[in-house]
């Protein structure tokens, strides 16, 4: 039976549409195939020709420039300088021993450095470049470049390394960088591929370590053509990395240099702090060391000398050193008793040279006694018996609480290595840590800053700044990051009765300005910059002989804290001289000199000193190993 004409027409239309769709699809496929062939044969012909010639394209990381570090006035403390180095990739070198033999004939390579490099080549992945020689000369680099065909896998490179132009002055603050080692690579919290770059430098201590990721930056990349024998033929493209952030510290480099110079010859520490902002203006710790020696690996001889020095140059005593605060703690005990209503400015305690409590005799430093002592005179004369009485009235819990309010037992958020927490002990602390009950003798010892009480020079400076202002000021070391100011912390009212603070300040003023005060010989003349302070002696061991009669290591530590000017406080200073003996003789003169230097912005006039001392002071000033930071940086750049 014949199909209707209408059905036949519809079928033909369907077949025509299918044919058109099929034809279009085939055309699109052929067009895409043609476009791909054009891309591969014409646009990418050079790259595939390289592959056909057994060349290949490698992508390598580009280390970013490390962020710079400046002082508060813009003087560089940590900079980058270009260095030349020679690297090798094991899989490109082939016969490593043969290549190294040819390389040694062209450029001098330290045997120890070469041994380390060869061991590293074996440990690292075969495609990771390893530094064979660092800090080589331009002539050596040129010689290697000319002989590149005979040195497969060897690449002469230009990199950056760290330079510390003010060396010893900032060793404990800025710290130093060093090459990445196995311990760094094994850290679970840092998987940055930059750490795989040969001899890539990261912070080891100080600000360099604590703000490592801020200073490090982000890696860039470069595409290079390498031939069959591992020789770099050309660079095909690069994407620069992001440089690390620049830091500006609160430290004044000129004042820092003075502090280091003034502490020279002692095992000592000092902190200078702006009492309003909390800015740390100087952090001294002596003796110090040259951080530049650590950048490329310090020699065993130099490192052994640092370790065996009895003055301990490696630790930062100002931040991680903890010591019994001695009599500098008496302001805390006094405030605890005043705030608890256990004493007033008129109350007196009779000092006979000792007091017997619990069948034990507790002595005053003045064995003959001070007689009747009120609060102001107890600070002026540093009478121990007065504070033994205050301890019994107030109790250790109130003393400890007051100490914490003024910064004791607090680990401040400062980007430096091993910032100490110190200790403001309580009854519960002793039970947990000594498995013993608190006894009344513990309270008496704590009242004069002995026994279990521990603090760092930083905490002593914070305490003094809070005493001077009545504000909970907190220390700040980083002023800005990439020009953006870091916020100030603290500054709220500390919550202590202002009248009680005034009483304590008057006592501190008498220490340095009233005849008979324990630091009267270290006073500052003139009303403009008068200083208030407190001496302290931290006992080392249980000796009953004079400091002069025992070896240096068994002598007492000398402490002093102060703020100035008295009427309008601007700076607080804390000083400790390890095994220096008495605070009035060893620490107070140093603190007075540092205070004047900070307030005058340079060496003060001799009229600021007592007349009897001026000839000696002038001689000491001339002998100080001071230097101008700007000049030192310029000389370092030229070198």
Instruction: Tell me whether residue 327 is one of the annotated catalytic residues.
Output: yes
CA–CA distance, 358 with 441 (Å, rounded to integer): 8
Structure token pair of residue 187: 């850290």
CA–CA distance, 414 with 407 (Å, rounded to integer): 14
Q: Are 609 and 525 in contact (CB under 8 A)?
A: yes
Q: Report CA torsion sign: 290, 291, 296, 301.
A: positive
Instruction: For 360-369, give one letter per residue: b (16+ CB within 10 A) or e.
Output: eebebbeeeb
Structure token pair of residue 130: 């390893």
Nearest to 96 by CA among 85, 84, 87: 87
- Please give the helix or strand (H or E) that residue 464 lies within, else none: helix 457-469
- Please give the helix or strand (H or E) that residue 585 lies within, else none: helix 583-586
Query: Cα torsion for 444, 449, 453, 458, to the nearest 10°?
Result: 160
DSSP state of 612: G
Q: Are 516 and 380 in contact (CB under 8 A)?
A: yes
379 upstream amide cis, omega within 30 of 0? no
For residue 443, report the phi and psi dihedrals to the nearest 5 degrees: -65, -40
Which entry of 327, 378, 400, 562 is annotated as an active-site residue? 327
Instruction: For 488-504, give one letter per residue: b (16+ CB within 10 A) or e.
Output: eebeeebebeeebbebb
Name the residues annotated as catalytic.
327
């Amino acid at each position: 039976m014949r199909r209707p004409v209408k059905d036949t027409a519809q079928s033909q239309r369907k077949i025509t549409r299918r044919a058109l769709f099929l034809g279009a699809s085939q055309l699109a496929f052929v067009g895409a195939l043609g476009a791909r062939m054009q891309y591969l044969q014409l646009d990418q012909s050079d790259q595939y020709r390289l592959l056909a010639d057994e060349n290949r394209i490698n992508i390598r990381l580009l280390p970013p420039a490390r962020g710079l570090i400046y002082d508060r006035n813009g003087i560089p403390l940590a900079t980058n300088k270009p260095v030349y180095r020679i690297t090798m990739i094991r899989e490109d070198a082939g016969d490593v021993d043969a290549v190294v033999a040819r390389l040694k004939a062209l450029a001098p390579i330290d045997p120890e450095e070469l041994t380390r490099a060869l061991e590293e080549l074996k440990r690292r992945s075969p495609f990771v470049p390893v530094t064979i020689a660092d800090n080589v000369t331009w002539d050596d680099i040129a010689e290697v470049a000319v002989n590149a065909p005979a040195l497969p896998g060897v690449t002469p490179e230009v990199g950056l390394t760290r330079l510390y132009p003010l060396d010893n002055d900032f060793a404990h603050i800025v710290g130093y960088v060093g090459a990445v080692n196995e311990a760094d690579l094994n850290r679970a919290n840092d998987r940055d591929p930059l750490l795989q770059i040969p001899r890539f430098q990261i912070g080891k201590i100080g600000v360099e370590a604590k703000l490592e990721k801020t200073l490090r930056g982000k890696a860039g990349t470069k595409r290079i053509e390498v031939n069959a024998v591992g020789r770099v033929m050309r660079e095909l493209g690069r994407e620069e990395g992001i440089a690390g952030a620049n830091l500006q510290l609160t430290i004044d480099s000129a004042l820092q240099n003075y502090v280091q110079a003034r502490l020279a010859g002692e095992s000592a520490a000092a902190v200078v702090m702006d009492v309003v902002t909390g800015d740390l203006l100087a952090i001294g710790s002596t003796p110090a060391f040259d951080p530049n020696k650590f950048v490329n690996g310090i020699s065993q001889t130099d490192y052994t000398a640092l370790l065996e020095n009895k003055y301990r140059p490696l630790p930062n005593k100002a931040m991680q050193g903890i010591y019994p605060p001695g009599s500098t703690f008496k302001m805390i005990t006094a405030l605890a008793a005043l705030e608890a209503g256990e004493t007033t400015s008129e109350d007196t305690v009779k000092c006979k040279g000792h007091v017997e409590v619990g069948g034990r005799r507790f002595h005053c430093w003045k064995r003959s006694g001070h007689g009747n002592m009120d609060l102001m005179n107890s600070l002026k004369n540093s009478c121990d018996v007065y504070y033994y009485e205050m301890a019994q009235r107030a109790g250790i819990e109130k003393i400890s609480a007051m100490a914490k309010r003024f910064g004791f037992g607090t680990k401040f958020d400062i980007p430096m290595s091993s910032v100490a927490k110190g200790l403001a002990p309580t009854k519960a602390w002793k039970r947990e840590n000594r498995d013993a009950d608190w006894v009344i003798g513990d309270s008496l010892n704590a009242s004069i800053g002995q026994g279990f009480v521990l603090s760092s020079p930083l905490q002593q400076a914070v305490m003094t700044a809070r005493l001077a202002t009545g504000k909970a000021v907190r220390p700040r070391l980083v002023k800005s990051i990439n020009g953006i100011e870091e916020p100030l912390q603290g500054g709220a009212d500390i919550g202590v009765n202002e009248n009680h603070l005034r009483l304590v300040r008057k006592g501190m003023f008498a220490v340095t300005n009233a005849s008979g005060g324990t630091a009267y010989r270290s006073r500052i003349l003139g009303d403009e910059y008068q200083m208030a302070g407190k001496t302290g002696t931290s006992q080392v061991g249980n000796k009953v002989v004079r400091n002069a009669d025992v070896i240096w290591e068994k002598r007492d530590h000398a402490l002093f804290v102060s703020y100035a000017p008295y009427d309008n406080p601007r700076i607080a200073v804390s000083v400790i001289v390890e095994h220096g003996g008495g605070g009035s003789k060893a620490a107070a003169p140093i603190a007075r000199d540092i205070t004047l230097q900070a307030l005058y912005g340079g060496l003060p006039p001799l009229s600021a000193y007592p007349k009897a001392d001026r000839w000696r002071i002038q001689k000491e000033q001339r002998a100080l190993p001071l230097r101008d930071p700007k000049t030192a940086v310029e000389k370092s750049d030229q070198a």
